[in-house]
């Protein structure tokens, strides 16, 4: 699953209780299942009701079929178990950094335009470009039309995917997509930064001036479309997103973690020290995050970090993407530190069970260090007089 879809699925789950809108929550769920021909006629009627010519719907849906491989992928989504050090060192490789810097030079004028018009730093766009598709090299080989037909027809989440199918028909109307040949990710994401059709319709920019928006084959289109999309998520020009810091031995560790912001200047007074020496953003709210505890890499996050959480809800992915962007913007490699050993899958599940028994809401007992588990760990560390850095260890498990 791409980051774009993960973001939409997260919002949809909040609304109902991969981006679901308020209007989506207020309208009945679309029809699904049954005879495929009848289903497609319903999709066509909906598209026409939205002002899309019937000819465009016919062209888009001609030859559409159910892709069983899409359903298999949807049912077998993996879980995220890597640590920050493992994931970030794999994704922020020297080869990717070298290619990213080459791309920044190759498309310097396009990146200048992106920053001038949308206020998004080049490194931010390039890091997403790298992490989503390796700069366009790996975009997925599923027929996009069939993937969206399959997921819209399937009754698991039609309210999420049917609007994307309608948007794809609109792209066909504009001449921006060939429904027979266009390929992408299994869940319908398209192009070099893996965007869903509704987002391409809403934020697409013709970067190369050919009269079309082609985020699959045109790097300028992909770069500028990504920039406009990131701006829509609330990115503020000229502000940082994440900043590596070093820590003193003693801090109010319970004040750390996402959601526990205070002015960066207050952190500086406590001895939190930016490695780049830049303390110019002391008035901005900042949260201290420690992906592997106080002995591993440590960062301050600023309001712009919120766009990463909008893009993808995975803490490890977002922190890695934000760090990647700082590297492309000139920051040195982070200090790895000497983080305490974490728990294996069995240990994490045992810890989650104990935390749940103590009254904490950790969600599903799945061995995954999600936000609920991190918060519960931090609270129990504080209760037991341990440094409350949110990193689960064998010492904590034993103490519980």
**Exposed/middle/buried for residue 248 (C-beta within 10 Å: 0-12, 13-18, 19+):** exposed
Q: Is the pLDDT of residue 16 over 50?
A: no
Tokens of 132: 């989503």
Question: What is the CA angle 108-111-115, rounded to 5?
Answer: 135
Tokens of 271: 């001895």
Q: What is the pLDDT of residue 342?
A: 93
Block residue for tokens 């027979």: 180
Q: What is the DSSP letter of 255?
A: G
Give Cα separations from 8 to 21, 162, 359 (angstroms).
9, 13, 30
pLDDT tens per residue across span 31-77: 899 999 999 999 999 999 999 999 999 999 999 999 999 999 998 86
Q: Is the pLDDT of residue 245 over 70?
A: yes
Instruction: Give the pLDDT mean for 312-318.
Output: 90
The whole-chain average pLDDT of the chain stands at 92
Block residue for tokens 């020009």: 237
pLDDT tens per residue across span 373-383: 999 999 999 99
Instruction: Give the pLDDT mean for 256-266.
Output: 95
């Amino acid at each position: 699953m791409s980051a774009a879809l993960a973001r939409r699925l997260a919002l949809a789950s909040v609304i109902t209780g991969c981006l679901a809108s308020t209007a989506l929550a207020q309208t009945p769920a679309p029809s699904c299942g049954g005879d495929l021909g009848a289903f497609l006629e319903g999709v066509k009627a909906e598209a026409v009701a939205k002002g899309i010519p019937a000819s465009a719907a016919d062209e888009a849906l001609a030859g559409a079929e159910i892709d069983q491989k899409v359903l298999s992928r949807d049912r077998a989504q993996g879980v995220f178990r890597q640590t920050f050090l493992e994931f970030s060192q794999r994704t922020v490789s020297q080869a990717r950094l070298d290619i990213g810097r080459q791309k920044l030079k190759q498309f310097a004028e396009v990146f200048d335009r992106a920053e001038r018009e949308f206020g998004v730093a080049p490194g931010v766009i390039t890091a997403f470009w790298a992490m989503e598709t390796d700069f366009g090299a790996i975009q997925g080989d599923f027929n996009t039309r069939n993937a969206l037909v399959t997921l819209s027809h399937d009754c698991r989440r039609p309210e999420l995917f049917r609007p994307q199918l309608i948007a794809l028909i609109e792209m066909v109307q504009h001449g921006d997509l060939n429904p027979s040949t266009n390929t992408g990710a299994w869940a319908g994401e398209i192009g070099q930064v893996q965007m869903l059709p509704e987002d391409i319709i809403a934020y697409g920019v013709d970067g190369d001036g050919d009269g079309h928006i082609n985020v699959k084959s045109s790097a300028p289109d992909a770069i500028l479309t990504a920039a406009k999309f990131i701006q829509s998520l609330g990115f503020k020009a000229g502000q940082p997103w994440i900043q590596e810091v070093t820590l003193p031995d003693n801090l109010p560790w319970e004040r750390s973690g996402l959601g526990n912001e205070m002015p960066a200047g207050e952190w500086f007074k406590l001895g939190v020290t930016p490695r780049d020496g830049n303390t110019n953003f002391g008035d901005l709210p900042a949260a201290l995050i420690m992906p592997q505890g106080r002995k591993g890499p440590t960062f301050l996050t600023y309001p712009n970090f919120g766009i990463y959480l909008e893009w993808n809800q995975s803490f490890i992915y977002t922190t890695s993407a934000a760090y990647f962007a700082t590297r492309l913007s000139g920051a040195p490699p982070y200090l790895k530190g000497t983080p305490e050993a974490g728990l294996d899958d069995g240990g994490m599940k045992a810890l989650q069970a104990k935390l749940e028994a103590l009254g904490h809401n950790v969600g599903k007992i799945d061995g995954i260090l999600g936000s609920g588990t991190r918060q519960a760990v931090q609270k129990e560390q504080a209760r037991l007089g341990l440094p409350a850095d949110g990193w689960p260890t064998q010492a904590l498990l034993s103490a519980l």
